[in-house]
Structure 1
Amino acid sequence: MVLSLVSLCAREVVSDHSSSPSWLRWVPRELYRPLLEAAFSSCRPLAVGELVQRWPERTLRVGGQRKQGQIAPNRLCIQALLLAVVRGLVDQRCALQVLDLCGLQGDEGRVGDSMGGWSLTVALCTMVVQARHGARRTLRKDGDRERKWLLAIEREKGIKREKGWRKELKELKSDEICSNRESTGPSGSVNEEKLIQGVRRRMELEKKRGISATWTEGSKRETEEKAVDSDVLVHVRADLFVNARSWERVRVALSTSGPLKIQCRYLRVEEISVSSIRNLLDLLPSRGLLGIDIRYSSLGVAGFAELLPLLSTFPELNSIRLHYCNLDFRRDYLGQDDALKELSQGLACLQELRRLSLTALRLPGQLRVLLSSLPQPLEILELPYLSLSPADLAYLSCSHHASTLQQLDLSENHLDDNTLPSIRRLLSQASSSLQHLSLSGCGLTDGLLGLLLPSLGGCWALKTLALALNPLSMIGLMDLVRMAVRMPSLRQLLYPNPLEDYQPGLPDLPSSAQLLDWPLDEATDINITSGQLNRVLIDSGRTDLFLTCDLLNYDKDLVD
């Protein structure tokens, strides 16, 4: 990656934090963005904090989709950013109103010092609560300062009133004595006492009126404080990752009113009950939620049907992902037909749904019931480990989704001679739109793959193709690569290790689990296999096609 002159200069400027007081106040607003990017890339958390606290624009976006080779921001830099946002709430130089952190989190366990989704969610919720407490402390200090000022004014007014009343009392007494000197007698003291009581009464009334006015001012201030607390100064957009350990903290942050407000774009929950998910959805703003990802939560059919009406209240929701959520239609139980009907009706209300991912839900024979009710055709369909039947694949190949699919994952669904015609028809329907295809672990032999290769080659928009854990020999693998180099749009091919590379004893038609666990033959040089495949690339001139058998590090999103 070639850096521009501005980027190079920005890196040099933020490298020395001791000089920041001399240049920071003279930086024009156009240079804040390159300076902040340089601070992130060079891991300068102090510079990140100073720039964000003085951010001159209404919007600050950090994150987004990273390019190939670009790492996620450092954890310390993210923490400095969040602290600076809180400090910027009372800094008049800061104009920030929208903080967009969508896509900021790094993948858990992949990047050394990046902040994962769970850690970022906890940090965001802590920031919201801290900002709330900080606003209360500021209002309390301002209220105490104003209250002391008012009491000082009232005390000064009281002293002046008392002096005036004493002067008035003396004048009244002298006038009374002068006018009634001859007739005072014993009643003179009584008249004097009445006069003093009247003046005291006037003083008490004035004092009560002053206290009443002070109470009125106090109630007004309380109302103003509540109004300030309810005003949002900065909207924070982010992707939230919630599990049982962080659910309570997220709930508190979402239900807390204050200067910061979280707006969720993608919500990922793990190991949370249906009732907790429902409460969480009730706290989210209806606008802005694009997708929900539920994993390892025992929803059951009834739980999923219960959540669908809530999901339909989010008008922009376009993605639903369910992974290992204990939906199993292979078991016969009372009320299964009613549950299927509720699911179909709930999915029919999702007007903007474009992505549906169902992993290991065991739905043989029920794909028509689920997908036919969707009002709009899907663009992304992921159905791994679903035990799809020939009837399911036959419906999918003829459904209204086939011609619009951009991404299709049928991994770990067994394919054979009975399902192959449906797969070929499906690929033909999606040939102009399909960009990512995964058929890993589908039991494709050399013969089945040979029948499927013409249909795969017809997908002229295909960018990535994953065929790992299929029992292919070296001959079948070479045929696959020769077909791949003739696909101009293809950029990545995840191929399986050929059967010849495994240790002896492997069954003739091994399953994907056996291929995954069976050790490779140490006597066989794997580099020979990759060298033969790369030779095909070199002979065809395809330097833009990446071949790999690394299933764990394969990432189709790097192509985009």
Structure 2
Amino acid sequence: MVLPLVNLCAKEVVSDHSSSPGWLGCVPRELYRPLLEAAFTNCRPLAVGELVQRWPERTLRVGGRKRQGQSPPNRLCVQALLLAVVRGLSDKRCALQVLDLCGLQCEEGGVGDPMGGWSLTVALCTMVVQARAGAQRALRREGERERKRVLAMERERDVVKRERGGGEKRGFEEEEGEGGGLLVESVRREKKETSGCLREDKQVKGVRRRMEMERRKASAAVAGLAGGKVGEGEADSEADSEVVVCVRADLFVNARSWERVRAALGTADPLKLLCRYVRVEELSVSSIGSLLDLLPRHVLLGVDIRYSCLGVAGLALLLPQLSMFPMLSSLRLHYCNLDIRRDMAGQEGAMKDLSQGLGKLSQLRRLSLTALRLPGHLCMLLSSFSQPLEVLELPYLSLTHADLSYLSCSPHASSLQQLDLSENRLDESALPSVRRLLSQASSCLMQLSLSGCGLTDSLLAAMLPSLSCCRGLKSLGLALNPLSLAGLLDLVRTAVRMPSLRQLLYPNPLEDYQPGLPPMPSSAQLLDWPLDELVEVHEATSLQLDRVVMESGRSDLFLTCDLLNYNKDLVEQ
């Protein structure tokens, strides 16, 4: 890939930090973006900090969807960015008002020392809390300066009063000595009445003056901290302080970061934290409810709850709060202990409450339920939605034939763009429902995962015609299915005839495993059973698959059996 000339020049400019004082003062605002990208790409945290501190535009977006092969920003660069945002609050050259960090986080321990979701959340919340503390310190300092100025003015006024009072007294004594007694007495009475009125006027003016000073003191402190970003109309507000920069981000909250996140979300100035997607792990129902109360209503798009012991009743309590977010389009529940197979009193009533609560999420388009073990209840869960879902993920859900039959005939079938039925056992009795489901979704389905579903050669052969009709399918996952090499070759021959398909996650054929594997192994057995140690065996399989792909001329189709590193989201929509 040939980089544009401006990117090459930006790389050279940010590489030498000693030269930054020379070019920072004269670089045009149009070059700030390529310079910042070069600083991130080449890991130049000092350059990142200097550019962000004087950012010339109102909006700065860092993160978002990355191109394939593009590495995320280094941890040091992200930390330098956050520190520079706080410093920019008092820098008049900085025009930043919106910082968008959505999609910046990545998995912990990635290549190049990136910042993971939990670390980024803690760093963001620390930045917001520290900015608030700095604003309060600046406000106190400004108040102290104003108080000293008022005291100095009062002392000066008292000196003037004393000087004027002494002169007037000497003048009246001279008039009395010259025999003007009656006239002097009348003047004294008039002066006394007049001075009483003046004192009353001064008291009224004093109250007004103090109110005006308090208002100016608050607005001046925030205006000084913002470096002149707050306009005069906003500065006259009666609020103690105002938001200078809105920070949009995705948050990762667990028991260790909960207190820090709560403190940051409760802070509204000078940095306001706005959450787009929130991922919650190992929190109680009450803590999750408290977190939802702190999140802005019109910003949140998705909620991901993992490893939290909710139960059906607990989730039913949270759904009314989730319905208060009008833009919520994604709900994910992973390993949240919603098992209702046990005979427990009140479970059916809780399921009805759960169904009604889901129905109130009018904008929901993505629903992911992982390992919740809700056999036979799919109709109750999905029939309450007023609008069809576009993404449905149901791995490890112990789906029954009735569940699959309902799904194939439901309004959701013809709208599904992504479907995950992994680790739900499929047999011959379920095959008609699965084929009908694929037929209904053939015009819109783009991602499909049937990994670990127990698909044998015969079952897959019966399903391949329905799969080939999915003309928009881009990603197909079939790992951990007990296929022979002949069945795998049939799968690849079908895949190369699907022009839209870009990724295929195929299973290792049974011939590649060491001897002793059961005749009908489960997905767990295929995952744990060792592969044959002979390299020639795997090379022979790869050569046969590559030959099928080469003969078809499909250089754009990516085949892999690496389940751990497979990422279906890398396919461009």
Q: Provide TM-score, normalisation by structure 2.
A: 0.91
Contact preservation (8 Å) 2:421, 2:449: yes
Find the counterpart in structure 2 of residue 426 from structure 1.
Answer: 437
Does 1:294 pair with 2:305?
yes
Find the counterpart in structure 1 of residue 231 from structure 2.
Answer: none
Find the counterpart in structure 1 of residue 267 from structure 2.
Answer: 256
Find the counterpart in structure 2 of residue 161 from structure 1.
Answer: 161
- Aligned partner of 1:372 among 375, 383, 390: 383
Q: CA deviation at 1:222?
A: 6.6
- Aligned partner of 2:348 among 330, 337, 340: 337
Contact preservation (8 Å) 2:71, 2:112: no
Contact preservation (8 Å) 2:64, 2:104: yes
Q: CA deviation at 1:215?
A: 4.9
Q: CA deviation at 1:387?
A: 0.2
DSSP-derived class of the 1:292 partner = strand
Q: CA deviation at 1:122?
A: 0.8
DSSP-derived class of the 2:530 partner = coil
Instruction: Summarize deviations over 1:267-300 as a string: whole Å, max 9, x none.
Output: 1000000111111111111101111000000010
Instruction: Summarize deviations over 1:325-382 as a string: whole Å, max 9, x none.
Output: 0001211211122112111111111111110000000011000001111111111100
Find the counterpart in structure 1 of residue 134 from structure 2.
Answer: 134
Hey, what's the Cα distance between the residues in 1 that align with 2:118 and 2:421? 29
Summarize the Cα distance change of 1:415–1:208 in structure 2 as closer, same or farther, 3 Å threshold: same
Hey, what's the Cα distance between the residues in 2 that align with 1:388 and 1:206? 83
Question: For 1:26-175, what aligned pairs fall within 5 Å after superposition?
Answer: 26-175=26-175
DSSP-derived class of the 1:472 partner = coil
Q: CA deviation at 1:199?
A: 13
- Aligned partner of 1:282 among 283, 293, 312: 293
Find the counterpart in structure 1 of residue 550 from structure 2.
Answer: 538
Contact preservation (8 Å) 2:392, 2:418: yes
Hey, what's the Cα distance between the residues in 1 that align with 2:549 and 2:460? 20
Contact preservation (8 Å) 1:267, 1:293: yes
- Aligned partner of 2:471 among 460, 466, 470: 460
Q: CA deviation at 1:211?
A: 7.3
Q: CA deviation at 1:202?
A: 11
Hey, what's the Cα distance between the residues in 2 that align with 1:213 and 1:404? 65
Instruction: Summarize deviations over 1:405-437 as a string: whole Å, max 9, x none.
Output: 111000000000000111111111111111111
Find the counterpart in structure 2 of residue 405 from structure 1.
Answer: 416
Contact preservation (8 Å) 1:286, 1:314: yes
Q: CA deviation at 1:241?
A: 0.5
Contact preservation (8 Å) 2:218, 2:240: no
Hey, what's the Cα distance between the residues in 2 that align with 1:145 and 1:491? 66
Contact preservation (8 Å) 1:460, 1:489: yes
Summarize the Cα distance change of 1:356–1:13 in structure 2 as closer, same or farther, 3 Å threshold: same
Find the counterpart in structure 2 of residue 305 from structure 1.
Answer: 316
Summarize the Cα distance change of 1:394–1:207 in structure 2 as closer, same or farther, 3 Å threshold: closer
Hey, what's the Cα distance between the residues in 1 that align with 2:75 and 2:239? 32
Question: For 1:438-453, what aligned pairs fall within 5 Å after superposition?
Answer: 438-453=449-464
Does 1:357 pair with 2:368?
yes
Question: For 1:173-192, what aligned pairs fall within 5 Å after superposition?
Answer: 173-179=173-179
DSSP-derived class of the 2:36 partner = helix
Q: Provide TM-score, normalisation by structure 1.
A: 0.93
Contact preservation (8 Å) 1:43, 1:74: yes
Instruction: Summarize deviations over 1:415-472 as a string: whole Å, max 9, x none.
Output: 0000011111111111111111100000011111111111111111111111111111
Show structure 1 runs of 5+ residues with no match. Answer: 182-193
Summarize the Cα distance change of 1:15–1:159 in structure 2 as closer, same or farther, 3 Å threshold: same
Q: CA deviation at 1:523?
A: 2.9
Find the counterpart in structure 2 of residue 265 from structure 1.
Answer: 276
DSSP-derived class of the 1:179 partner = coil
Find the counterpart in structure 2 of residue 187 from structure 1.
Answer: none
- Counterpart of 2:157, as a letter, is K
Hey, what's the Cα distance between the residues in 2 that align with 1:210 and 1:350? 57
Summarize the Cα distance change of 1:543–1:216 in structure 2 as closer, same or farther, 3 Å threshold: closer
Does 1:559 pair with 2:568?
no
- Counterpart of 1:307, as a letter, is L
Count of residue pairs the alignment pairs up: 553
Report which stretch shifted further, 118-127 or 146-155. Answer: 146-155
- Counterpart of 2:331, as a letter, is I
Hey, what's the Cα distance between the residues in 1 that align with 2:205 and 2:64? 58
Does 1:241 pair with 2:252?
yes
- Counterpart of 1:382, as a letter, is E
